[in-house]
Structures are given as structure tokens and as C-alpha cells.
Structure 1
């Protein structure tokens, strides 16, 4: 666990290395947070839930950091306004790095102390590491949104040629369904968030799942066929959102010299026709599925279909920072499911502020599966479920089609 902690903290530093202090302050919307805040908040998490209650004599470098860097943990105290995190110019970046170093030293000392409660500490450190991995993903996607507002379209990482690819026909694999089990088994010692369990039974009708995600080539066909202008393809709320926001293409796309272009963390690039479509909302994904004569899978169908499939793909560790052609079930883009983010049968959140991690968000959001090019592969497992509101687009969000068999 000490090695995982060191590895996770080092990854955050590496992700921040190419950024200027000005980059670190970008907050382009309420849903996004500055990179500096992500670095400080993940540090506060270790301090608040591990060091303060368990390391005798520990003192925070500044007690006011709890106000600045708490996110939504009501039981942990007051919080700074979420939409004003980009205004926290002080403490400065050097102070945040020093804060991280102090907390890193404190966690290392605690884990080497030979205490009777070391197993409990290790479990909290593991939770903190997975929490920081989630914020690593947010750091790069929030940064992408922030940089996209700069007319110079600056690249986070050096541009790279568009990978050579070819069109891959859409095919489906049939699954028999029946009574299946999904979710994390409480008896399994491997890490999982509380919302991933308990393991339970679900009855599935026979279904078929596409062998690849929906691609940009597919999406352009939807656009050319008037998909954004055909209300009968859309949920009512979805078409209202589409009209209100003037959606007519995925986020970050524009037309240039008769070709579609997109902004990525590697700068402006022509749209790769055979890469998975990305930065589309649930509403858009659902409309596309109707247009294609298919539907979105349920999360139970997705988990059942991926059972036993090796977790290999284009994740954050590859440092591509963009979806690539030819992917399988894992990586590249998170895939929308039609399942609302609700508790599994028998779900009980933990006691205390830690119990606020997932349970309080189980309303008005939809589950996505599979991870993306911004997700650390170490975080992935068959039961992992992330969730977003149906109108959100700035994450690496895509889709895979399903249909009744």
C-alpha cells in the first residue's frame, strides 16, 4: 500500500509537470476545477480522514485549508463555493506543493509505525489513492475544457500524427442472458467503492452488444442525416437541452476546409473517423442509438458481457490523452448505459463523512462503464461504475450500442 500511495502521488505530480502556474488556475465552468485545487483537495482528503484523527501531534500547515479544499463533505465542515475555486490565488502553488510534501511524509510515517490499526489505515489510504486517481482524470479533462477557450488552442502534450486506421464494420455479439450476478462481492478483499456492491442477482433477457464503440464516422452519418434536428429521435428533456445549447455536433468540434476538426489535449487535430466518438451527452447517445435502430445497454448487460475480458486498452497510462481506433471493451471512452445511478439492493453507505462519497449522488445521473483514455488503468475493475448528469459532455464520454437478441 505504501508503494501504491507513492505511485499515485507521483502520477499527479507528473500530470502537473507540463503546466504553467497560470494553467493551474484555470476554471472554465462550475463543473470543472483548477489543477491546483485538485492537487490540494486530494491532499486534504488524506489529511482530514487519516492524519488528523490518527497521527498524534499532527498539525496542518494552515487550518484554513480545510475550508478551501473540502469539496462536498458536509460533516467535515464548511466549504468554499465550488464555482469560485479558480479565484483561490493564495495559497500559491509552492505552498500547495509543500502541503503535499508534508502530508506525504505524514502518511509514510503513519504506515511505518507498526500500529495495531494498520489494516484500517491501509484501507483508508487505498480509498484515498483511488479518490486521487479519480481526480487525476478530472484534472486532465477539466484542463482540456479550460484550454479549449484559448483562441491559440494550446496543446497540453506535444501534437502527434493522426493514427492510420481503417473502417471497422459494426458487428454484435449475442449473450444469452438469464439470471446473472453483478457488483462487488463484500467478501472479496480487492478494493471497490461502496456503490459497487453488494453483489446481487439480475435477470437479463437475451441481448447483443456491439463489438466496438460508436465511431466518429458513425457520428458524422448521424449528423448528416439530420440527427440533431429530428425531435422524434430524442427524449423530450434531451431535445430541449439540445435546442437550448444549440448542439449540432460533439463538444470541441468545428468545420475547417471542408473537414471536421476537434480540440484535444494534443492540440487541434482533424477528427479521426475511426476513433470512438467522444464528448457526447447521454441525451445525444440515446438519440444516436434510436437513429441506429438500437439502444444503449444496461449496466448489468455491460458488466455481464465484459466478465473475464482482460482489462487492457487505451488508458491514462498510455499518455495518448485521446481515443484511438480499434479499441475493445475497455478504455478510450466511458460508455453511457441506460441505467440510472441508484443503489444496489442492500446498499448501505459507511458511517461518517466517508459515507458521503457516493450515496448522496444517487439521483438524476446515469451510469457509464469501461474507463477512458483519461482513467488510470489501476483504477479499473469489472464492477466499477462512474456517473454523470445526462447533459454533461466535457468528460471522455462515448457509447456502445446494444439491441435485443
Structure 2
């Protein structure tokens, strides 16, 4: 695959030059993630919820063309017909190609998409180097970079599902390090009842970036509770399976039980039926008993928690625990692309960031006083506040430095193809 991208700009000497350097680095990372894929790999769409890698590369480029370059006088679209193909869900700026049919886009070719990226990158970097972007365009560019990092994670999770669906089940890469660690014993961290501040100041009024769904900052009463010091491991989840957890209706929410029966769930996605191996981006590997269990739906996470006599944490309990904790962890930049066991530690909370997204019991909704981003970008988050559940903390496929304590990820409760796991919570006895 041709991985040519625009050359990085010179060393940053101004805010615009620093933004140009950041832009070039993030854009190059997306192309590098797609580099192991053939053109055939890059157009596969294995289910409606996933997108082809080629579409991810094109859509993120469309975002910069539509929301940054189009703000410049005299901008001529690269290809006006592609506006329809690579729009995702911004209905306020025009119709979009149906999401379930993105895998039908054999044209434009992968080579044309990469050329599109290079053309757009050259124009954006030239504008940044000339300090020619208005503040609003710079804000939309910064949002676009965070948007691209979200799609970098989706590119990995989507191609993993596509390769697993292939009868040959090939590896995305055969050079990924298989790192293992012995999990720290599970302990409980008690927290008293307290009033805490939740959320992030609204951006761009506040300099630090945050999505609109993280704002505004508000106070919440968090009752006394305890959190497990680490996520649930594969070995612990395997005990749930052995105890008949997938056959015990009393552990499951009604919708989850119906889905479990209809789809024949017997174990997490990507495990083999013998519960000895799992499919990874590095191909099939022995199941690491100490690594966090991942690729669970909300329903599976909730059923496991019930089986343990516990529950899922609320997103406020999770954020209160993560407040003041540096968001360091095992992210995509480590280039393992699979969760690892918790490092040795004491009673402190471990792996809050990285390894696996942690399901919470909180439905995805608006904070009091929520205001969506201005203009067309108001469609970014707010219109999805229905029938979704919150996950926190990032995963081994999340770009480093992309998440923070206030970051709210959200998926449908049936979703299993993300690196989603579970940390237990419980109430006082």
C-alpha cells in the first residue's frame, strides 16, 4: 500500500506551526495504521456498525476539506461528488451515502483516496504555515484532529472484525508483541459519600479541548461505594462461563437475554468455543488469564456484575475516581494493540486509563445546561443521546493522550466489537 503523505512541517516555532506539526503527525498515523492492509482489505465492511478502512481514511479527510478548507475564499472541492460519499451523518450540510452500504464503494480506489489525503494535507499545512486560518477554522481543525483519532481506533476495531469474519482469519499484523503480566489480586477501594464536580469547561471558550458532551462542569452527589482496583480478568470471566452464566436468565436484562439467545452467545466475542484462545489483531493467541476480559457487550458486563453480587459503576463514580489521575496507561501507541494484565500495585485503582473501555451503568444523556457545538458541528454528539450507554477510560486501541477523566464514550448496549471490558462496583454492606 502506498503510504506517502505530506511532509511534516519544520520545527514548531509558533502556535500555528505547532498545530501544523500536530496535524501532520496525526494524519500520518492514520495512513500508517492502514499500511498493513491490501486494497481489498481496505474496502471490506463486515457489518453495518463498522466501516471500511478506506472510508475512514476518506471521511476524516472530507472533514478537513469541508470544515477547514471550505472556509477559505475560492476553495474548489477536490471532487464534489465525494461530498455525498464521505459525509457521515451531517444532515444539515447535505445527504450522505447509507452507512450499511459503505462497503460497496469500490470507487474511488484506495490510491485515489490516499491522493485525496495528500492534496488536502498539503493545503491545510500550507495555510497553517502561513498562519492564514481564522480562529474558527483553527477550532474546527483541532476538533478534526480529535475526530481523526477516534477514527484511528475505529479503523483498528473495524478491521479486526472484518478479518475475524474471513474464514482464513488472517492477522492484521504478525509483528505485534504479545506482552503478558500477572494480574494484581482484586481488591476494593472504598469511597465515602461526597459531592464532586463532573465534566469539563466548555471548549473553545476554555482553552483545553473537550467535546461538547463533556460540558458543562456541574456538581453531583456520589453516594458511598467501592470500586474494584482493576478490570475483570479473562480467568475471572471464564469462571462465570463455567458456572453457567450464559444460561442463567435471572442474571440478564430482558433485552440482553433475548439477544444472547438469538445470537447464541456463549462467551466473549473472539474467544474460541474451548475458551482457550482468542482472536487478536495479531491473529489467534492463547487466552491470557491475567489480561482484562474485552469485547463484552453492556449486557454481558452487567450480567457478570450481578453474578458477582456487584454492579457496574456509574459514570460519576468512575470520573470521581479518575479525577486528578494522569491519563497514562496502555494505549495504542505502545503498539501491542491488545489488553495486558494489571501491573503490580497496592490498593490504588489500576488501569483506569487504557487496556479496555469500561462499561458504566449510566445512559448517555445531556448534562444539565448542555450546549452543542455551534453550527453544523452541533450534530457531532448531541443527536446520539438516545439508547446508548457510557464507557470510560480508553483502550489499547485508543491513541495516547486522546482521553481524559471527563471523556465520555458511548455505544449501544449490544456492541461487542470494541475493546470494552468491566470494572466492578458495589454498595456498602
TM-score, reference length from structure 1: 0.96
Q: Offset of 1:162 from its aligned partner?
A: 4.5
Determine helix, strand or coil for the equivalent of 1:56: coil
92, 99, 105: which one pairs with 1:82? 99
Gaps of 5+ in 1: none
- Residue of structure 1 in register with 2:53 after alignment: 35
**Whole-angstrom distance in 2 between the partners of 1:166 and 1:13:** 34
State how many pairs are aligned.
401
Aligned partners of 2:176 and 2:335 also within 8 Å: no
**Whole-angstrom distance in 2 between the partners of 1:219 and 1:290:** 12
269, 272, 297: which one pairs with 1:251? 269
**Whole-angstrom distance in 1 between the partners of 2:182 and 2:355:** 17
- Show CA shifts across 1:284-322 (max 9, x none): 000000001110000000000011112111101111111
User: Does 1:48 pair with 2:69?
Assistant: no
Determine helix, strand or coil for the equivalent of 1:237: helix
**Whole-angstrom distance in 2 between the partners of 1:28 and 1:246:** 19
- Show CA shifts across 1:301-345 (max 9, x none): 000001111211110111111111115211000000000000000
Aligned partners of 1:137 and 1:374 also within 8 Å: yes
227, 242, 257: which one pairs with 1:224? 242
**Whole-angstrom distance in 1 between the partners of 2:323 and 2:374:** 31
402, 408, 424: which one pairs with 1:385? 408
**Whole-angstrom distance in 2 between the partners of 1:324 and 1:240:** 32
Moved more, 259-268 or 196-205: 259-268
**Whole-angstrom distance in 2 between the partners of 1:140 and 1:103:** 23
**Whole-angstrom distance in 2 between the partners of 1:316 and 1:337:** 22
Q: Offset of 1:211 from its aligned partner?
A: 0.6
267, 282, 293: which one pairs with 1:277? 293
Q: Offset of 1:159 from its aligned partner?
A: 5.1
82, 101, 104: which one pairs with 2:118? 101
Moved more, 152-161 or 7-16: 152-161
- Residue of structure 1 in register with 2:83 after alignment: 66
* Equivalent residues in 2 for 1:157-196, closer than 5 Å: 157-158=173-174, 162-186=178-202, 188-196=206-214
Distance 1:180 1:100, change over 3 A: same
- Residue of structure 1 in register with 2:424 after alignment: 401
User: Does 1:366 pair with 2:389?
Assistant: yes
- Residue of structure 2 in register with 1:120 after alignment: 136
- Residue of structure 1 in register with 2:368 after alignment: 345
Aligned partners of 1:55 and 1:110 also within 8 Å: no
TM-score, reference length from structure 2: 0.91
Q: Offset of 1:161 from its aligned partner?
A: 6.6
Aligned partners of 2:278 and 2:286 also within 8 Å: yes
Aligned partners of 2:69 and 2:75 also within 8 Å: yes
Q: Offset of 1:167 from its aligned partner?
A: 4.5
Moved more, 1-10 or 363-372: 1-10
User: Does 1:311 pair with 2:331?
Assistant: no
Distance 1:164 1:358, change over 3 A: closer
Pairwise CA RMSD: 1.4
- Show CA shifts across 1:72-113 (max 9, x none): 110111111111111101111111011111111121122233
Gaps of 5+ in 2: 1-18, 344-350
**Whole-angstrom distance in 2 between the partners of 1:114 and 1:311:** 31
Moved more, 389-398 or 322-331: 322-331
**Whole-angstrom distance in 2 between the partners of 1:51 and 1:29:** 32
